[in-house]
Amino acid sequence: EKWPRGDEKEWRSALRGLDTDVGSITKSVVHHVQTSLARQPHNLDDLGAYQAAALSVRDNLILNWNETQLQYTRKAPKRAYYLSLEFLMGRTLDNALLNLGLKDEYKDGIKRLGFSIEDILEQERDAALGNGGLGRLAACYLDSSASQELPLWGYGLRYKYGIFQQLISPEGNQLEAPDPWLEHQNPWELPRLDVVYDVRFYGQAERLDGKGRAQWTGGQEVLAIAYDVMIPGYGTQTTNNLRLWESRPKRGFDLNSFNAGNYEGAVESSNSAEAITSVLYPNDHTTFGKELRLKQQYFWTAASLADILRRFKNLDKPITEFPEYAAIQLNDTHPTLAIPELMRVLIDEEELDWNTAWGIVTNTFFYTNHTVLPEALEKWPVPLIEHVLPRHMQIIYDIVSLRSFFLTRTLSDASSSRTSVERKFPHDRERLARMSLIEEGQPKQVRMAHLACIGSRKVNGVAELHSDLVRTTILKDFVEFEGISKFGNVTNGITPRRWLDQCNPELSALISKTLKLDKTVWLKDLTKLEGLLPFTEDKAFCKEWAAIKQRNKERLAHHVELTLGLKVNTNALFDVQIKRLHEYKRQTLNILGVIHRYLTLKNMTPAKRKKVVNRVVFFAGKAAPAYYIAKLTIRLIVNVARIINADPDTKDHLTLYFLPDYSVSLAEVLIPASNISQHISTAGTEASGTSNMKFCLNGGLLLGTVDGANIEIAEEVGESNVFFFGHLTPAVEDLRFQHLYHPVPLEQKCPALAHVLNQVSAGLFGDGHVYEPLLNTVRQGDYYLLSDDFDSYIAALGMVDEAYSDSEEWVKKSIRTTAKMGKFSSDRAINEYAESYWNIEKVPVTK
Ligand code: GPU
């Protein structure tokens, strides 16, 4: 190959990589202080040192990123694309150092410059472009894709404001403040001002002919600009890409500015181009039907598809081969508009016929469902889609009425023969109505899960139980129509790099020492943890294991003292529930259980109290700004804490903390410190859960319901090492029926719970009236079955106490739990997607 220009020797000698000895690292950091930051060494503070170190690390990432993308272009493998509205990345510097294998070198170099690596790592703000589990899962999958050398790109939105900052008022109310995470420059992104696409909204769609073609004109056009975030693999040179889109006006200036004080108002108000990527919607498990949210979804899917298609077109292959070069994963239904959008491009721009286009579409997309909660299944009003995306509404109608929905592939002949729902189930009009993409009503609504399902090659849930529920409830008719083989399961996973090595370095070191394996080995084959099992009989090892847990508890206590000024008793069992506030997750059950414990302690003699297991309960989590009941739960937790933490009779035995502003970084401190964590959703409601895996990986035991991935965790670690309680999924519907049609007074059904509720009403934790709406969710209807599960919950908490009293046996349970968590590495999960869904292969990248 001929050198493109200039003196090849000159180029080659300049092109060598970066030196990574400590001396070169300090030079590079100081160079960035002087040049990129234009600052003096004399007055360099921790923030400046962080920025310079980050820029220096980023240089390494960029070189690997370049090499990786070059290999992808040269080898032209099939690629996978992960479309997610949320990527909850957290901090990057420590992870980048770990994955590059440069942690020790930078630690040393930073120290020589007079700073401490711990302090400068703390300077970084979280990239919090997500709400909870769904967004964090996407982040773990990116880490694993690069670590497994899989050619995968993420596509998302570059929100100017991530998830809101949570403040707690003196009364215990959640307040929301904007999260201006881009205030300082973000060293982890590369603006690609040359990667730009036009995206249209509104306007007119005119049909051109009988072949379903149309022309879409007029309306508003905005620009999508790419920002690339580098995703380094652990122990590989592979550095994948997360491409985030920013919206900009196509011409002129838009003066509607974001009003930071009025969160909801700001989210919905402005119709300007910039507004589209201004703010992450802070709702989890809910659909709102807001126009701006629809515009976000379309803006992002249209830009991503255009980008993917442009890359494919560079290969010079016939368009019908598109599915052999691209697999597109839909992270929940948020990117479902990609299905009609690809139809639009193929039909209106590539001029393919309907069936060819539909064949390409249905071989390209894959859909992951993350919930079966009815209120969380996305639906968009037909008039809204008609207004914002008139052409897409036509295409959706075409899918419903004349074409693909009634012409879907049969099992017998996958190549071309197609049949229709009507032909397969003649005269079954109820079935047709159930399956339709359009739900009748005022207004009519588009059911995005149905569209995602019929437009995809495969569909999966995120844990065994959940995938079964998908097959037997929300998509049952589609299973009967299309065959069960389209509907699979990929149990979620977590990256052990962040969720063990980074957040619990002492435990990681002990594991390496004990297994006599370098961590680079077991962090990439997590089943190696099983090698810890024999050491449950090793007294010295057990002692060290327990000591590390204790130090992690002290680290958390230190954090609470620094941030809240409160002193935490570290000689108590640490009990943790940290997740989004939601009725189905039942934080209310937990706080009512705490009150029950408090009342029980109050009734004991001091001598008897001394015998109980002392407990510190931690809560953290955000509530959607408009979720009144969830906010009331926070208020109750805060006020219960205020009263019981100050009660001299009980405070040595039971205290309670609500830690504000839950984040990835806070989770990294909380998780390694827990003795027991709670995952107590009503059976059948938590699709998987992923923090359950994180706690167990760090040797915390699990208290939970028979739900989501809790079940598979118990299968792995053994039921004797988890604390299960509560009714099972098949009982839930019957119980709800009983509540409605044969209600039993709470005093009779569950006196212990009735007593707790009465104490709250009576004002034990401040004005009881405030909590009535929350208490009434339990007294009336009790949709989430607190009254059915309360007694067995209290019993399970008692079993936890009993088990914890036997500290030697407890440590063994803790070790056994960690040892059996291999299955839950996101490396395993991403490889399942790669093999059984996307059909992509590894692309090794070497220097
Ligand atoms: N999940 Br739907 C979210 O975090 N947000 C959502 O809007 C929806 C689902 C979660 C599930 O609740 C959780 O069980 C699962 O582990 C996670 O997605 C990742 O699959």
845 domain-assigned: no
Cβ–ligand 1 contact at 474 (below 6 Å): no
Q: Is 190 left (phi over 0), alpha (psi -120 to 50) or beta?
A: beta
- Verify whether ligand 1 is closer than 6 Å to residue 376 (CB atom): yes
In this structure, the residue with its CA closest to atom 1 of ligand 1 is: 134
Ligand 1 and 370: CB distance under 6 A: yes
Which residue's CA is minimally distant from atom 19 of ligand 1? 134
Query: For ligand 1, is residue 825 a contact (CB within 6 Å)?
Result: no
Residue 53 lies in domain: 20-75+102-125
Both 675 and 659 in one domain: the answer is yes
Q: What is the mean pLDDT of each run of 10 residues along the chain (847 residues)?
A: 89 91 98 97 96 98 98 98 98 98 98 98 98 98 98 98 98 97 95 98 92 92 97 98 96 46 47 91 91 98 99 98 98 98 98 94 98 96 98 94 53 50 86 92 97 97 98 97 97 99 98 98 98 98 98 98 97 98 98 98 97 98 98 98 98 98 98 99 98 99 98 98 98 97 97 98 98 98 98 98 98 98 99 98 92
Ligand 1 near 189 CB (within 6 A) = no
263 shares its domain with 382: yes
Q: What atom in ligand 1 is closest to the CA of residue 369?
A: 2
Q: Is residue 527 part of a domain?
A: no
- Same domain? For 276 and 335 the reply is yes
Q: How far apart are CA 338 and CA 309, in angstroms?
A: 12
Q: Confirm or reject: Cβ of 482 under 6 Å from ligand 1.
A: no
Same domain for 733 and 688: yes
Nearest partner of 233 among 155, 138, 142, judged by Cα: 142
Residue 587 has a pLDDT of 98
Same domain, 246 and 121: no
Residue 661 within any structural domain of the chain: yes
In tens, the pLDDT along 737-772 reads: 999 999 999 999 999 999 999 999 999 999 999 999
Whether residues 58 and 168 fall in one domain: no
Residues 700 and 722 in one domain: yes
**Roughly what angle, to the nearest 10 degrees, separates helices 133-147 and 93-100?**
20
**Rounded distance from Cα 300 to ligand 1 centre (Å):** 20
The predicted pLDDT at position 422 comes to: 80
Question: What does DSSP say about strands 573-578 and 676-679: parallel, antiparallel, or unpaired?
Answer: parallel
**Which ligand 1 atom minimizes the distance to the CA of 137?**
19
Whether 747 is in a domain gets the answer yes
Whole-angstrom Cα distance, residue 772 to residue 632?
Answer: 10
Q: Separation of 319 CA from ligand 1 center, angstroms? A: 35
What are 546-562's pLDDT values in tens digits?
999 999 999 999 999 99
Cβ(687) to ligand 1 under 6 A?
yes
- Best probe residue, ligand 1, of 84, 329, 370 (max atoms within 8 Å of C-beta): 370
SS3 353: coil
Q: Is residue 62 located within the same domain as residue 188?
A: no
Phi, psi for 91 (deg, rounded to 5): -80, 160
- State how far the Cα of 152 lies from the Cα of 595, in Å rounded to an integer: 48
193 and 107 share one domain? no
**CA 132 to ligand 1: nearest atom:** 4
- Catalytic machinery residues: 370, 579-580, 585, 690, 694
Question: Residue 48: which of 99, 124, 111 has the closest Cα?
Answer: 124
End-to-end CA distance of the chain: 18
- Nearest ligand 1 atom to the CA of 708 is 14
Say whether both 543 and 611 belong to one domain.
yes
Residue 688 CA, ligand 1 centroid: distance in Å: 7
Three-state DSSP at 573 gives strand
Q: CATH number of the domain that 815 lies in?
A: 3.40.50.2000
Residue 243 lies in a domain: yes
Q: How confident is the model at residue 257, as a pLDDT?
A: 40
Closest CA to 522 of 537, 536, 510, 538: 510
421 neighbors 371 (Cβ within 8 angstroms): no
Total count of domains within the chain: 3
CB 133 near ligand 1, within 6 Å: yes
Tell me if 712 CB under 6 Å of ligand 1.
no
- Considering the domain boundaries, does residue 529 fall inside one? no
Which of 285, 680, 711 to probe ligand 1 with, by most ligand atoms within 8 A of CB?
A: 285
Q: Are residues 467 and 559 in the same domain?
A: no
Å from CA of 134 to ligand 1 middle: 4
Torsion-angle region of 52 (φ positive above 0: left; ψ -120 to 50: alpha; else: beta): alpha
pLDDT in tens, 267-319: 443 458 999 999 999 999 988 889 999 999 999 999 999 999 999 999 999 99
With vertex at residue 742, the alpha carbon angle to CA 739 and CA 746, rounded to the nearest 5 degrees, is 60
Contacts 24+ apart (CB under 8 A), 428-431: 431/477
Clarify whether residues 119 and 182 are in a common domain: no
Residue 521 in domain: no
**How big is the chain, counted in residues?**
847
Q: Report which ligand 1 atom has the smallest distance to the Cα of 368.
A: 20
Residue 560 Cα distances to 50, 575, 656, 660, angstroms: 24, 15, 12, 10
Q: What tokens were used for 686?
A: 């938590």
CA 756 – CA 557 distance, rounded (Å): 29
| The pLDDT value given to residue 420 | 81
Domain contains 324: yes
